[in-house]
Structure 1
Amino acid sequence: MNGDAVAGAAHRFAEWFGRPPAGVWSAPGRVNLIGEHTDYNDGFVFPFAIDRRTVVALGDRDDRVLRVGTSHDPEVVSIHLDELSPDAVEGWAAYPLGVAWALGEFGADLAHARGVDLYIDSDVPIGAGLSSSAAIECAVALALDDHWGLGFDRPTLAKIGRLAENRAVGAPTGIMDQTASLLGEPDSAVFLDCRSLDADVIPLGFEADGLSLLVIDTRVSHAHATGGYASRRASCEAGARALGVESLRDVRLDDLGRAAELLDDETFRRVRHIVTENQRVLDTVRTLREHGPGAIGPFLDASHVSMRDDFEISVPELDLAVETAQAAGAIGARMTGGGFGGAAIALMVDALVPIVTREVMAAFAEQGFREPVVFTVRPSAGAHRDL
């Protein structure tokens, strides 16, 4: 974490709560290089932690009250540890306080825990598909685990973050985001089997090959707890039931002909996206190992087409970002995240970054779209204690 950000969070904690913090922790957002909506279908994903982070400063209390404040809201939210439940808090505070509740669900003895004050700050863009939510959950989970001496390992902390998001926030997401935020390493991505939860950290080689990953935040906001995300998950579950399998992970490419006969057109296309996307993840990892990052572009491009046409989660701004980056020479480009807004990513040689940025800005202006926010991200380290 940037030293200024850590020092700033510690300073603001002292301003808010009248004393220095006992420690500062941080966790990154993530970019999903490929593997969209496959996680809750027991499939494969390939995300990496980014150099945009959420920082949490924590201080002890002499009672059993949890208080949480953030740079995004002037109000401090308080709750007694005995009153924690998945429905106890609404709004942004459901993320950190939901984590505290979820720790208890995984066996933490909160009956004897002392309360804490938390101050949260972040430079992970909200609503951009870079998992600002998991960054909060993982930073808070690691901070509370360390401070309370709970001893959970990182895969368990990922499950705790997912439970908080599913139950306290009400977003039916999988475990990919939390795993990337907790297990990420520099210039590497996490190849995660979402059924077994086996995770393999694989070097990307972007730096050695002179490649940059450009994020194009369309500033079309999305929210996983509402809208089309839940309906897409329901379609996948309906497709699995109709095909007689536990999850769409069990459907192979050569099963798609039978699926087309059994399913209505919309459900079939949802299923086809998941099945082909799982294969694209496997192909990307294999190609990366055998030929390096410069050869993975076709899988990124095909992933976007599948999300646009079969899963129908893109929007015109995302399509324009992807098409403009491709036309300007990107190796590959796709939307990333849950869809219905958020960000696109484009992999390119370093020298193309200013050119693609200029072309994207011009294309958005020509279409009358809101000006996007364009920046590069580096695959970076996962959650850790900073102070």
Structure 2
Amino acid sequence: MTDAAARATAGFRSAYGAEPAGRWAAPGRVNLIGEHTDYNDGFVLPFALPLRTVAATAPQQGERWTVRSELSDAPVEFGAAEVDEPGRVTGWVAYVAGVVWALREAGHAVPGARIAIASDVPVGSGLSSSAAIEAAVLAALVDLGGLDLPTERQPRLAQRAENSYVGAPTGIMDQSAVIRCREGHALFLDCRDESVEHIPFDLDAAGLAVLVVDSRAPHRHADGEYAARRTSCERAAERLGVPALRDVAVADLDDALGRLDDETRRRVRHVVTEDQRVLDTVALLRASRVREIGPLLTASHVSMRDDFEITVPEIDTAVEAALAAGALGARMTGGGFGGCVLALVEADRASAVAEVVTQAYAEKGFAAPATVPVLPAPGATRLD
């Protein structure tokens, strides 16, 4: 039983004076490679983390939902009238209300429920803490209500909750990863048709680990800059006469770039080359050449830093320090302007690499980062 599972159970007992009917868990995720490609109809390669969000849940009479989080002082309750009007339920509980709303919008008879949430996924670190909440609650409500919602359809519904109810313009990657990932694998996702392939990513057998570094950097202008990058990509696709930047082939890139202004040129170059890096990484992993993906990870970071311009000094410092300490490759993961770095490291060197990164932060006067070595974990599941 994970810490989050134990805390969710304790929270349920404290809030409701009873035992939950069950506990459902969903992981955070990191994206191994493929950044800002999702909303360009491109390719991504995330994997699930062993860090999980757990929803201890039991049925409740009527169309009422009561939610308790370890991050809040008291449970929050809402009913059908509030949930059916996007914008009335706000704050962290909007992620839960959004799932209820999306299910109802899709025609499902959503059971009333009492929910207690606990999480080991850091909030605001780019590890999809919001998608983990959505997926854990969605799994609980689907099971409790006996709803006909196959796993492959759940990511789109969870994304709708976040896009249309919460108002966050995320792509389909986060929800797909936290719901559909498998242990020991990365999820190769085509964001255009939502097809997936589970790619073996057996780090343990290769004597490797992924070191996740939470930069602890405050997100600087993240929402506005994210929207600006997305708008720039959409305008570029229109200018180039393609449905999305995914449709610009690497072989045609130079010609395409010649038709754009300097800033847009750099944005497009990142997306097109990043899609190719995902495909190259998948090819290496299929061939069990795990160690050889390191340079692709580092090239991805350079592209995000120089062409897409979404890194910050803390992030760049973590990447540079990890590489100097012997990481096979390192890159920022997530939307940018803060968040996390991942480094592919020898498993027995993870602590040493973490120490070098922490020392580099100290030398620059940054707040100390949090570091954890991880292996690919399973997606959303019922614990009991």
Same fold (TM over 0.5): yes
CA separation of 1:62 and 1:291: change in aligned 2, threshold 3 A: closer
* Secondary structure at the counterpart of residue 370 of structure 1: coil
1:155 aligns with 2:137: no
Deviation at 1:291, TM superposition (A): 4.5
Q: How does 1:181-330 map to 2 (within 5 A)?
A: 181-222=178-219, 226-330=223-327
1:43 matched to which residue of 2? Answer: 42
Q: Which residue of the partner structure matches residue 76 of structure 1?
A: 75
Q: Tell me how far apart the structure 2 counterparts of residues 299 and 368 of structure 1 sit (CA, whole Å).
A: 30
Range moving further from structure 2, 127-136 or 10-19: 10-19
- Are 1:344 and 2:341 matched, yes or no? yes
SS at match of 1:215: strand
Which amino acid is the alignment partner of residue 37 of structure 1? Answer: H
Gap change, CA 1:126 and 1:3, over 3 Å in 2: closer
Q: SS of the counterpart of 1:190?
A: strand
Q: SS of 2:121's equivalent?
A: coil
Picking from 114, 119, 141, the partner of 2:116 is 119
For residue 229 of structure 1, what is the amino acid of its counterpart? Y
User: CA contact under 8 A between 1:172 and 1:225: conserved in structure 2?
Assistant: no
Give the Cα–Cα distance (whole angstroms) in 2 for the partners of residues 224 and 44 of structure 1.
26
Q: CA deviation at 1:117?
A: 1.2
1:83 Cα deviation from its structure 2 partner: 2.9
Question: Secondary structure of the equivalent of 1:160?
Answer: helix
Displacement after TM superposition at 1:106 (Å): 2.2
In structure 1, how many angstroms separate the alpha carbons of the residues matched to 2:209 and 2:364?
Answer: 26
8 Å CA contact 2:11–2:117 kept in 1: the answer is no
1:129 matched residue in structure 2: 126
Question: Which SS does the other structure have where 1:185 is aligned?
Answer: coil
Paired residue for 2:364, among 346, 360, 367? 367
Letter in 1 for 2:197: D
For the 8 Å contact 1:186–1:380, the answer to whether it is kept is yes
User: Letter of the aligned partner of 1:304 in structure 2?
Assistant: H
Residue 224 of structure 1, CA deviation: 9.5
Aligned to 2:169: 172
Secondary structure at the counterpart of residue 28 of structure 2: strand
Give secondary structure in 1 for the equivalent of 2:73: strand
Conservation of the 8 A alpha-carbon contact between 2:111 and 2:144: no
Partner Cα distance (2:148, 2:220) in 1:
32
The alignment of Structure 1 onto Structure 2 pairs a total of residues equal to 383
Instruction: Note the alpha carbon deviations across 1:168-216, whole angstroms, 9 max, x for none.
Output: 2211111111111111111111001111111011111211010010011
CA distance in 2, matches of 1:267, 1:241: 12
1:225 to partner: Cα distance: 7.8
Find the aligned partners of 1:86 and 1:167 in 2 and give their Cα distance.
8
**Contact residue 326 and residue 345 of structure 2 kept, 8 A:** yes
Is the contact made by 1:23 and 1:57 (CA closer than 8 Å) also made in structure 2? yes
Superposed CA RMSD: 1.5
| 8 Å Cα contact 2:53-2:118 kept in structure 1 | yes
Q: Distance in 1 between matches of 2:40 and 2:104?
A: 27
After TM superposition, the structure 1 stretch with the greater mean CA deviation from structure 2, 92-101 or 283-292, is 283-292
Report Cα offsets for 1:332-367 as digits up to 9, x if no partner.
Answer: 000001111001000011121121111111100000
Q: TM-score w.r.t. structure 2 length?
A: 0.96
1:82 to partner: Cα distance: 3.4
The residue matched to 1:73 in structure 2 has which SS? coil
Please tell me the residue identity of whatever aligns with 2:105. Answer: E
- The amino acid across from 1:149 in the alignment is G
Q: 1:225 to 1:145 in 2, by over 3 A?
A: farther
Say whether the 8 Å CA contact 1:65–1:81 is kept in structure 2.
Answer: yes
**Contact 1:170–1:225 under 8 Å retained in 2:** no
Identity of aligned residues (%): 53
What TM-score, normalized by structure 1, do the two folds share?
Answer: 0.96
Question: What is residue 92 of structure 1 aligned with on the other side?
Answer: 92
One-letter amino acid matched to 1:95: Y
